[in-house]
């Protein structure tokens, strides 16, 4: 059982012991109630202190137990809290470091709470599509007041204990300890001081009201509705808290439980829980154990101060790591620095960055034209032109100059990392770090593992990714890695849809209604249609039999590269970004259809969405089968964090799982009958066909 029992004179100490964060799984729950009983049975014990060992008071429920019999097996969390609340001897929660979710609900069941400063306090259930389910929505408003409590519950954000302890009239903490170190002594002394106090204070007995009543909740509901978009949980938080102001405590608890259970089975909750697990799983690499030693990264060099080099540098500056940028010419460096300054200054203007932090970051940035000046950097990231010849020269130079043990990374988006590694005598130190544009904003980092990349290099890059707040996903070497390889099929399919009868705006509207931030044609206009044009010129020389719609090439031949040229798939008014449907483009597509002899047909939004999403799913199945991505959840992470796939759907793989792989395959077979579509396109990847036939899923769905 995961809780220890000890005594200090007449005070019992129950200490949860379930590393890393004292999750409230069955063994911790059993541990608490058994230890409590021991304290109650011992006549010499006057009061009890409940705390957590190690890195947390408690991080909350064990989400791995959700949906399993263990989650509801007695004692469940509600009954543990009830046991504490009904204890005839006072129970004092000694809270430190982290009290989140069920951990905070547990503390709220105690008669008194004492917190160490610096502890993170939160009810973050909303982030996995739920509401607190063990009294949080009923007890927190009683100790903090309805409004601050609802803000915490709806946002799920953590607030520091000292900040909460300073709120006027708050009853969350009876005392703030002087320090983490003194917490236990102070808690034991506090327990002794209240040992004889009766009746014991219980949070449930406190009043729960908002002075503006209904008007406040109406306002709160409007605010939350605007922000929560595709997710049902935030509004349910409002419902639960409001009910708490109107119902007797126990009825409020039952109501909270019903709302909680109702959310647990929604697709949105499933998607968020999947992504929560996927985020953690992405950092685990099967053959690179967690305890693999990492190399120290105290300084970074970036080669190339262009679009990517500048953004990449900012990530490290933001994390307090010095960066030296290297270019061929001084004016390129000057331009790079000016862009970084401009980006930071915009943040200062918006109040998102203090002048002091801006100055600190810029002070960490230096430049050079000489490789000698970067030789001692621990990590060098190359972001020069996308040409193998240029990369070859850079990596030969790096091999000659960089100190032994330095990690040599390339930000290439399409080139073979194994070939790049072969330009050096130390391929084990070479790795791909594929950032996304704008590199200082986008969360995704594809870490490209070359054939010879050393395990400690991978472990180091994964750990530095965390430091610079990126979601790192490991990809094997192939053209396009995980994400760009998927989007290529999606773009091809979007082109076929135009040929058959859609307008760009129909396609965009349908997929945006599905939840994508931007449809493929608006996206093309934003990123620049010429980029795809250049890639296609190369790709379809290599693969002349691969069919694709020429409409995108015709568009580029008209000079319509997108927003940067004032027109693309859409028209744009000067200085504005609103996409206006274009008669010129409609005509171009109509003329092209004539050359193909196609009579346009009306295509439903459902078909548009399925064709686009299943094109991603099928390519992902190939990617998984080839071992380019190790796990289906990695694919979902890539597409959610880098390509705007709707979060509430959990990523293309989870979406396919929930649609049913059998249904996906059948739908693809139907698409393959369409004489205008490319029948080969819809041949199910062997992995997809196999899983569908066996009634299995891509993800081991949580
Ligand atoms: P860019 O053209 O904006 O910048 C490249 C910079 O490298 C220029 O400032 C150039 O002066 C410098 N450079 C060229 N040869 C050099 C050399 N031998 N030594 C030192 N500096 C040299 O290009 P961008 O967009 O920043 O792309 C850089 C790399 O990042 C490419 O490999 C590209 O495929 C990759 N990438 C680009 C993305 C994008 O959206 N732009 C996204 C992800 C990766």
Asked if residue 304 has its Cβ within 6 Å of ligand 1, the reply is: yes
| Ligand 1 atom index nearest CA of 305 | 9
| Ligand 1 atom index nearest CA of 394 | 18
pLDDT at 71: 81
Asked if residue 328 has its Cβ within 6 Å of ligand 1, the reply is: yes
Give the pLDDT confidence of 594-612 residue by residue, as tens digits: 999 999 999 999 999 999 9
Q: Is 557 a catalytic residue?
A: no
CATH number of the domain bearing residue 248: 3.90.226.10
Asked if residue 398 has its Cβ within 6 Å of ligand 1, the reply is: no
Q: Are residues 495 and 470 in the same domain?
A: no
The answer to whether 237 touches 131, Cβ cutoff 8 Å, is: yes
pLDDT at 547: 86
Greater model confidence, 595 or 67: 595
Give the pLDDT confidence of 639-672 residue by residue, as tens digits: 999 999 999 999 999 999 999 999 999 999 999 9
Q: Are residues 460 and 492 in the same domain?
A: no
Q: Are residues 597 and 488 in the same domain?
A: yes
Asked if residue 420 has its Cβ within 6 Å of ligand 1, the reply is: no
Asked if residue 411 has its Cβ within 6 Å of ligand 1, the reply is: yes
Length of the chain: 702
Angle at 304 between CA 301 and CA 310, to 5 degrees: 80
Domain limits for position 611: 483-701
Give the pLDDT confidence of 146-199 residue by residue, as tens digits: 999 999 999 999 999 999 999 999 999 999 999 999 999 999 999 999 999 999
- Banded pLDDT at 702 (limits 50, 70, 90): very low
Q: Which residues are within 8 A (CB) of 68 and not within 5 positions of it... i.e. 6 or more apart?
A: none
The listed range with the strongest mean pLDDT (65-74, 209-218, 321-330) is: 321-330
C-alpha 335 to ligand 1 mean position (Å): 13
Domain presence at residue 292: no
Last residue of a domain, one of 427, 450, 475: 475
C-alpha 411 to ligand 1 mean position (Å): 8
Nearest to 183 by CA among 113, 123, 120, 121: 113
| Ligand 1 atom index nearest CA of 336 | 9
Q: Are residues 575 and 444 in the same domain?
A: no
CATH number of the domain bearing residue 532: 1.10.1040.50
Active-site residue, selected from the candidate residues 65, 85, 105, 591: 105
Mean pLDDT to the nearest integer, 557-562:
96
Last residue of a domain, one of 430, 445, 475: 475
Mean pLDDT to the nearest integer, 263-267:
94
3-state helix, strand, coil in the chain (%, to 5): 55, 10, 35
Domain presence at residue 295: no
Burial profile 607-640: b = 16 or more Cβ within 10 angstroms, e = fewer? bbbbbbbbbbbbbbbbbbeeebbbbbbbbbbbbb
Q: Are residues 23 and 160 in the same domain?
A: yes
Separation of alpha carbons 75 and 73, rounded Å: 6
Q: Are residues 100 and 167 in the same domain?
A: yes
- Is the model's pLDDT at 542 over the cut of 80? no
Separation of alpha carbons 187 and 183, rounded Å: 6
Q: Are residues 148 and 215 in the same domain?
A: yes
- Is the model's pLDDT at 700 over the cut of 80? no
Candidate from 17-21, 70-74, 453-457, 465-469 with smallest mean pLDDT: 70-74
Q: Give pTM, 2 decimals.
A: 0.91
Using the Cα atoms of residue 262, residue 263, residue 264 and residue 266 in order, give the sign of their dihedral: positive
Q: What is the total count of domains within the chain?
A: 3
Domain presence at residue 278: no
Q: Are residues 384 and 240 in the same domain?
A: no
Looking up tokens 């969405």 gives 609
The answer to whether 116 touches 66, Cβ cutoff 8 Å, is: no
CATH number of the domain bearing residue 436: 3.40.50.720
pLDDT at 302: 98
Burial class of residue 239 in the structure, from the number of CB atoms within 10 Å of its CB (0-12 exposed, 13-18 middle, 19+ buried): middle
Domain presence at residue 285: no
C-alpha 574 to ligand 1 mean position (Å): 28
Q: Are residues 207 and 354 in the same domain?
A: no
Last residue of a domain, one of 220, 242, 264: 264
Q: Are residues 70 and 132 in the same domain?
A: yes
Domain presence at residue 695: yes
Asked if residue 412 has its Cβ within 6 Å of ligand 1, the reply is: yes
Q: Which residues are within 8 A (CB) of 202 and not within 5 positions of it... i.e. 6 or more apart?
A: 85, 111
Q: Which residues are within 8 A (CB) of 479 and not within 5 positions of it... i.e. 6 or more apart?
A: 414, 485
Q: Are residues 458 and 499 in the same domain?
A: no
Q: What is the percent of the chain where pLDDT is above 70?
A: 100
Domain presence at residue 276: no
C-alpha 306 to ligand 1 mean position (Å): 5
Mean pLDDT, the chain, as a whole number? 95
Helices (H) and strands (E) in the chain, counts: 29, 19
Give the pLDDT confidence of 325-367 residue by residue, as tens digits: 999 999 999 999 999 999 999 999 999 999 999 999 999 999 9
Q: Is 256 a catalytic residue?
A: no
Domain presence at residue 386: yes
Q: Please list the residues that pair with 4 across neighbouring strands.
A: 15
Q: Are residues 449 and 498 in the same domain?
A: no
Q: Where are the beta strands (DSSP E) in 304-353?
A: 323-326
Domain presence at residue 493: yes
- Banded pLDDT at 675 (limits 50, 70, 90): confident
The answer to whether 22 touches 58, Cβ cutoff 8 Å, is: yes
């Amino acid at each position: 059982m995961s809780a220890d029992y000890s005594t200090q004179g007449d005070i019992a100490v129950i200490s949860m012991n379930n590393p890393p964060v004292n999750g409230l799984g069955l063994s911790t729950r059993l541990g608490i109630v058994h230890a409590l009983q021991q304290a109650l049975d011992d006549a010499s014990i006057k009061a009890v202190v409940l705390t957590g060992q190690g890195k947390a008071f408690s991080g909350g429920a064990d989400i791995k137990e959700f949906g399993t019999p263990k989650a509801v097996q007695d004692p469940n969390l509600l009954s543990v809290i009830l046991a504490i609340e009904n204890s005839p001897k006072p129970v004092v929660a000694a809270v430190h470091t982290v009290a989140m979710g069920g951990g905070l609900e547990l503390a709220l069941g105690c008669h008194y709470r004492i917190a160490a400063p610096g502890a993170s306090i939160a009810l973050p259930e909303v982030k996995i599509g739920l509401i607190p389910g063990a009294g949080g929505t009923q007890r927190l408003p009683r100790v903090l007041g309805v409004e601050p409590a609802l803000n915490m519950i709806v946002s799920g954000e953590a607030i520091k204990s000292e900040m909460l302890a300073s709120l006027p009239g708050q009853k969350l903490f009876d005392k703030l300890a002087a320090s983490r170190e003194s917490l236990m002594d102070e808690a034991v002394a506090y327990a002794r001081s209240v040992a004889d106090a009766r009746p014991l204070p219980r949070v449930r007995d406190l009043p729960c009201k908002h002075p503006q009543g209904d008007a406040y909740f109406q306002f709160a509901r409007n605010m939350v509705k605007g922000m929560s978009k595709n997710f049902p949980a935030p509004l349910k938080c409002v419902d639960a808290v409001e009910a708490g102001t109107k119902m007797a405590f126990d009825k409020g608890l039952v109501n909270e439980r019903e709302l909680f259970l109702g959310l647990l089975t929604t697709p949105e909750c499933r998607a968020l829980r999947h992504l929560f697990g996927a985020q953690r799983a992405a950092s685990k690499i099967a053959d690179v154990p967690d305890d693999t030693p990492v190399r120290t990264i105290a300084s970074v060099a970036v080669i190339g101060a262009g679009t990517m080099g500048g953004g990449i540098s900012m990530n490290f500056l933001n994390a307090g790591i010095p960066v030296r940028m290297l270019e061929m010419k001084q004016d390129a460096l000057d331009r790079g620095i000016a862009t970084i300054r401009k980006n930071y200054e915009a943040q200062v203007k918006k109040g998102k960055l203090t002048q002091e932090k801006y100055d600190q970051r810029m002070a960490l940035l230096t430049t050079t034209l000489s490789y000698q000046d970067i030789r001692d950097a621990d990590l060098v990231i190359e972001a020069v032109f996308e040409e193998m010849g240029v990369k070859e020269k850079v990596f030969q130079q790096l091999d000659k100059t960089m100190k032994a043990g330095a990690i040599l990374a390339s930000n290439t988006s399409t080139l073979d990392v194994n070939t790049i590694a072969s330009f050096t005598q130390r391929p084990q130190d070479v790795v791909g770090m594929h950032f996304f544009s704008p590199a200082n904003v986008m969360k995704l980092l594809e870490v490209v593992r070359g054939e010879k990349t050393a395990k400690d290099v991978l472990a180091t890059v994964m750990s530095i990714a965390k430091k610079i707040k990126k979601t790192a996903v490991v990809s094997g070497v192939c053209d396009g890695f995980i994400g760009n390889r998927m989007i290529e099929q999606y773009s091809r399919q979007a082109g076929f849809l135009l040929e058959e009868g859609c307008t760009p705006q129909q396609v965009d509207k349908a997929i945006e209604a599905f939840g994508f931030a931007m449809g493929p044609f608006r996206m093309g206009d934003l990123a620049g249609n010429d980029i795809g044009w250049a890639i296609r010129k190369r790709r379809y020389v290599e693969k002349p039999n691969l069919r694709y719609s020429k409409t995108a090439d015709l568009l580029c031949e008209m000079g319509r590269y997108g927003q940067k040229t004032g027109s693309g798939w859409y028209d744009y008014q000067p200085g504005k970004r609103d996409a206006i449907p274009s008669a010129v483009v409609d005509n171009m597509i109509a003329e092209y259809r004539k050359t193909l002899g196609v009579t346009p047909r009306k295509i439903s939004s459902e078909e548009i969405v399925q064709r686009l999403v299943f094109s991603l799913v099928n390519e992902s199945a190939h990617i998984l089968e080839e071992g380019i991505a190790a796990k289906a959840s990695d694919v979902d992470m890539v597409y959610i964090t880098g390509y705007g796939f709707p979060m509430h759907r959990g990523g293309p793989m989870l979406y396919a799982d929930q649609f049913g792989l059998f249904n996906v395959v059948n739908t693809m077979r139907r698409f393959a009958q369409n004489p205008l579509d490319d029948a080969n396109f819809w041949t199910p990847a062997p992995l997809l066909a196999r899983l569908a036939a066996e009634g299995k899923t891509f993800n081991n769905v949580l």
